[in-house]
C-alpha cells in the first residue's frame, strides 16, 4: 500500500500525515490527494458552488498588522468609507445578477460611529428583496455586544481569520501591543460561534517564518474549533509593509499557490461539509487560481463587487484584482470553467455551510 493510501484510509489525519501530504513531491500522490478532495466535496457538499459578492466598505483601520497594505501605519494609502447608497446599490446590483449573498468587509474600528454604521447598513441590505440576500461580515474583533447587535440587524455569517494559529508566528506578524492579541482573536471566534453565527476563519499560506508543520497545525486548529467556513489563501507581499522587507524570506509564487491548493484539499478531506472559499488572493498568483481551488475542494466563489473608484484604494496586497464589471465577466468565465469540472454556480441561494446546519440542528441533518 502506498503511503498516501494508508494515510487517506485513516479516520483522523495526524500532524505528521498532514506535513507529509503538504510536502510530497510524488506526482501520483499529489493527484490522489486532489481527486480524493474533489470526490469528498461532491459527496458532502453537492455540485453547486456558492456565490457571494464582496463589498469592501472601508480601508480605515486602527490596527497595524505587519503584512497588510491598509494597516494604519501605511501613510501612502488614501482612506475611504463607502456611502450607504453605494453599498446598497452594489448589493441590489448583485441581487439582480443572481447573487444570493454578500460579504461586507472592512478595516477594524471599535468606535460607536463605525459599529452603528454597520448596524444601519445591515438593516438596509436586509430589506432588499425582502431579506433575499444572506450577509457575511468581516470587520475584525469586536465585543460580544457589538457582535450581538450585528446578528440582530441581519448578519448571520462572520469571517475572522486567525491568520496563523501558531501563537509565536502570530506574534511575529503583529505588533506586540494590546491592540493585537492572539488570545483575544481566539476568544472572538469562540464568541461568534456561541452567539450562533456561521463562523469562518482562515490563515495566510506561505508567510515568512512559516513551516509546513505550522500549516498542518492550522488545519488541526480549524478542525478543533469545529469551524463552519474557511477562507484561506496565499500570502502576497505588499511593498509598503514591514513584512515584505528583504530580511524576511518569501517562497516563490508557484510554491505558495501549490501549498494553498494542498491546504484546501486537506481541509476538505478533514472537514467534509464545511464551506471553503476559493480566496481572491489565489487570483493574484494565477489567473486560474480560483478555478484550481474549486478543483481542489473549495465550494464558494466570492468576486469583488465594490463600486469601482474605491476598490483600487483597498489594497491589502499587490496585484489584487479590482472590480469586476469585471464581476459579471469574471463570473461568466469562472462559471464556464467550473462547468467543465461538472459543477454549477448556485444562483439565488445563500449557500449556507451544511456543517453549520448540522451543528445547530444535529437531529435534522445527518450528513457527516
Ligand atoms: N480587518 C478585518 C478584515 C479585513 S482584512 C480583519 O483583519 O479580519 C481581510 C484579510 O486580508 C485578513 O484576514 C488577511 O488574512 C488578508 N490579508 C491582509 N494582508 C494580506 C496579504 N499581504 N496577503 C494576503 N492576505 C492578506
Ligand atoms: Fe486592519 Fe485587517 Fe489589515 Fe489587520 S488585516 S491591518 S485588521 S484591515
**pLDDT (tens digit per residue) in 113-153:** 999 999 999 999 999 999 999 999 999 999 999 999 999 99
Looking at the CA of 57, name the nearest ligand: 1
Band (pLDDT 50/70/90 cuts) for residue 361 is confident
What is the per-residue pLDDT for 360? 86
Q: Atom 5 of ligand 2 has which residue's CA nearest to it? A: 68
**From CA 284, how far away is CA 253, in angstroms rounded?**
9
Cell numbers for 178: 494590546
Band (pLDDT 50/70/90 cuts) for residue 268 is very high
Across-strand partners of 46? none
Cell numbers for 255: 510554491
Convert the pLDDT of each residue in 93-104 to its tens digit: 999 999 999 999
What is the per-residue pLDDT for 106? 98
Band (pLDDT 50/70/90 cuts) for residue 10 is confident
Q: Summarize the confidence of residues 197-212 as an average pLDDT.
A: 97
Of the two residues 344 and 247, the one the predictor is more confident about is: 344
What mean pLDDT is reported for the chain? 92
Query: Nearest to residue 234, comparing CAs of 175, 200, 283, 268?
Result: 283
Query: Nearest to residue 124, comparing CAs of 158, 95, 159, 157?
Result: 95
Q: Atom 19 of ligand 1 has which residue's CA nearest to it? A: 68
- Tell me the CA–centroid distance for residue 66 and ligand 2, in Å: 9
Lining residues, ligand 1, CB within 6 Å: 61, 67-68, 105, 107-108, 138, 140, 160-161, 163, 204, 235-236, 238, 281, 316-317
**From CA 122, how far away is CA 136, in angstroms rounded?**
10
Cell numbers for 81: 468609507
What is the per-residue pLDDT for 11? 84
Share of the chain above pLDDT 70, in %: 92
Q: Are 104 and 139 in contact (CB under 8 A)?
A: yes
State CA 165 to chain mean position distance: 15
Share of the chain above pLDDT 90, in %: 82
- Tell me the CA–centroid distance for residue 306 and ligand 1, in Å: 16
**From CA 255, how far away is CA 281, in angstroms rounded?**
14
Residue 217: CB atoms within 10 Å: 19
* Ligand 2 contact via 63 beta carbon (within 6 Å): yes
Q: What are phi and psi of 173, to 5 degrees?
A: -95, -5
What is the per-residue pLDDT for 322? 46
What is the per-residue pLDDT for 351? 95
Give the SS3 label for residue 339: helix
Convert the pLDDT of each residue in 270-287 to its tens digit: 999 999 999 999 999 999
Residue 133: CB atoms within 10 Å: 23
**From CA 252, how far away is CA 43, in angstroms rounded?**
34
State CA 116 to chain mean position distance: 25
Convert the pLDDT of each residue in 53-84 to its tens digit: 999 999 999 999 999 999 999 999 999 999 99
* pLDDT over threshold 80, residue 318: no
Q: What are phi and psi of 22, to 5 degrees?
A: -75, -25
State CA 188 to chain mean position distance: 16
- Tell me the CA–centroid distance for residue 6 and ligand 1, in Å: 36
- Tell me the CA–centroid distance for residue 67 and ligand 2, in Å: 9
Q: Atom 2 of ligand 2 has which residue's CA nearest to it? A: 107
- Tell me the CA–centroid distance for residue 68 and ligand 2, in Å: 6
First to last CA, the chain: 27
Q: Are 107 and 58 in contact (CB under 8 A)?
A: yes
Convert the pLDDT of each residue in 291-313 to its tens digit: 999 999 999 999 999 887 665 56
Please work out, in degrees rounded to the nearest 5, the angle formed at the alpha carbon of residue 367 by the alpha carbons of 8 and 294.
60
* Long-range contact set of residues 163-172: C-beta below 8 Å, sequence gap at least 24: 163/65, 163/203, 163/204, 164/203, 164/204, 164/207, 164/210, 164/214, 164/218, 165/203, 165/214, 165/217, 165/218, 165/221, 165/222, 166/214, 166/217, 166/218, 169/207, 169/209, 169/210, 169/214, 172/66, 172/209
Amino acid at each position: 500500500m502506498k503511503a498516501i493510501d494508508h494515510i487517506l484510509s485513516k479516520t483522523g489525519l495526524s500532524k505528521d500525515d498532514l506535513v507529509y501530504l503538504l510536502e510530497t513531491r510524488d506526482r501520483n500522490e499529489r493527484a490522489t490527494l486532489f481527486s480524493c478532495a474533489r470526490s469528498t466535496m461532491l459527496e458532502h457538499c453537492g455540485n453547486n458552488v456558492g456565490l457571494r459578492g464582496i463589498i469592501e466598505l472601508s480601508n480605515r483601520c486602527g490596527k497595524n498588522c505587519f503584512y497588510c497594505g491598509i494597516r494604519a501605519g501605511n501613510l501612502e494609502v488614501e482612506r475611504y468609507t463607502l456611502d450607504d447608497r453605494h453599498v446598497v446599490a452594489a448589493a441590489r446590483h448583485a441581487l439582480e445578477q443572481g447573487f444570493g449573498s454578500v460579504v461586507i468587509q472592512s478595516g477594524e474600528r471599535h468606535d460607536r460611529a463605525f459599529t452603528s454604521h454597520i448596524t444601519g447598513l445591515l438593516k438596509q441590505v436586509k430589506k432588499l428583496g425582502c431579506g433575499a440576500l444572506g450577509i457575511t461580515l468581516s470587520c475584525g474583533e469586536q465585543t460580544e455586544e457589538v457582535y450581538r447587535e450585528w446578528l440582530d440587524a441581519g448578519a448571520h455569517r462572520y469571517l475572522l481569520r486567525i491568520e496563523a494559529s501558531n501563537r509565536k508566528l502570530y506574534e511575529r506578524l503583529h505588533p506586540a501591543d494590546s491592540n493585537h492579541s492572539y488570545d483575544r482573536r481566539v476568544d472572538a471566534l469562540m464568541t461568534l460561534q456561541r452567539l450562533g453565527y456561521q463562523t469562518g476563519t482562515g490563515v495566510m499560506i506561505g508567510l515568512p517564518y512559516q513551516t509546513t508543520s505550522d500549516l498542518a497545525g492550522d488545519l488541526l486548529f480549524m478542525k478543533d474549533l469545529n469551524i463552519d467556513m474557511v477562507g484561506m489563501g496565499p500570502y502576497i507581499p505588499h511593498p509598503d509593509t514591514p513584512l515584505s522587507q528583504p530580511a524576511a524570506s518569501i517562497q516563490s509564487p508557484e510554491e505558495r499557490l501549490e501549498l494553498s491548493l494542498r491546504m484546501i484539499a486537506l481541509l476538505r478531506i478533514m472537514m467534509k461539509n464545511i464551506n471553503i472559499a476559493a480566496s481572491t488572493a489565489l487570483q493574484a498568483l494565477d489567473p486560474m487560481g480560483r478555478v484550481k481551488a474549486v478543483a481542489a475542494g473549495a465550494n464558494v466563489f466570492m468576486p469583488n463587487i465594490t463600486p469601482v473608484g474605491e476598490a483600487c484604494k483597498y489594497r491589502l496586497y499587490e496585484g489584487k484584482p479590482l472590480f469586476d464589471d469585471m464581476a459579471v465577466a469574471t463570473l461568466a468565465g469562472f462559471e464556464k470553467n467550473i462547468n467543465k469540472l461538472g459543477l454549477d454556480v448556485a444562483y439565488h441561494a445563500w449557500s449556507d455551510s451544511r456543517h453549520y446546519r448540522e451543528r445547530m440542528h444535529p437531529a435534522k441533518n445527518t450528513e457527516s
